Amino acid sequence: MKLSDKTFSFSNEDFNLKSHPHQSLKEHLEGVTSIALGIFDKQTENSEKREAIKKICMAHDFGKATSFFQDYITYDEKSSRQSRKFGTEKNHSLLSAIFAYWWLPEPYKLMGYLAIKRHHGSIKNTKDETELLDEYDILEKQLAAQV
């Protein structure tokens, strides 16, 4: 079995990552996936597209699992969090987008990458997506911290 065929599971009881101060990453990803699939299922029955949408939703905040983001989101109070400098390493969209690109089948890779990379902003101007080298050092730090 290839790693890209692996199904990811959140079954570990000790899995305590946060997506928001009062919501676990597991709850958030499952909730977003449920809403998106509910909308999709009312419109079509294409199982290949359904699986791609499921993967995009489950991957969209994958980067929030980094220690940088977890330190940021679990910092005591929002007012304190805003005054403390956490740096760009807490950003999660690029790492999430790269993970989705790797995980998705070929026809959905670019669409998934762009949707996730831009899910907190505008998807209209994708010109700067070719300037990935500007963010390479951030990725390097995020990935190094996970080992």
Domain ranges of the chain: 59-145
Q: How far is CA 96 from the centre of its chain?
A: 4
Q: For residue range 22-62, what is the model confidence (pLDDT) as tens digits?
A: 999 999 999 999 999 999 999 988 999 999 999 999 999 99
- Helix 109-117 with 93-103: angle, nearest 10 deg: 170
pLDDT digits (tens, 9 = 90+) for 88-118: 899 999 999 999 999 999 999 999 999 999 8
Long-range CB contacts (< 8 A, 24+ apart) of 112-121? 112/52, 112/55, 112/56, 112/59, 115/56, 115/60, 116/56, 116/59, 116/60, 117/93, 118/93, 119/60, 119/93, 120/93
- CA–CA distance, 70 with 87 (Å, rounded to integer): 13
Quote the pTM value: 0.76
User: Where does residue 118 rank: exposed (0-12), middle (13-18), buried (19+ CB within 10 A)?
Assistant: middle
Q: What pLDDT score does 86 carry? A: 82
Looking only at the bridges linking them, the beta strands covering 23-24 and 18-20 are antiparallel
Round the average pLDDT of the chain to a whole number and report it.
84
Q: What is the pLDDT of residue 3?
A: 47
User: Is residue 113 a contact partner of residue 98, using CB atoms and an 8 Å limit?
Assistant: yes
Tens-digit pLDDT profile for residues 69-84: 999 998 865 556 565 6
Could you tell me which residues are beta bridge partners of residue 24? 18
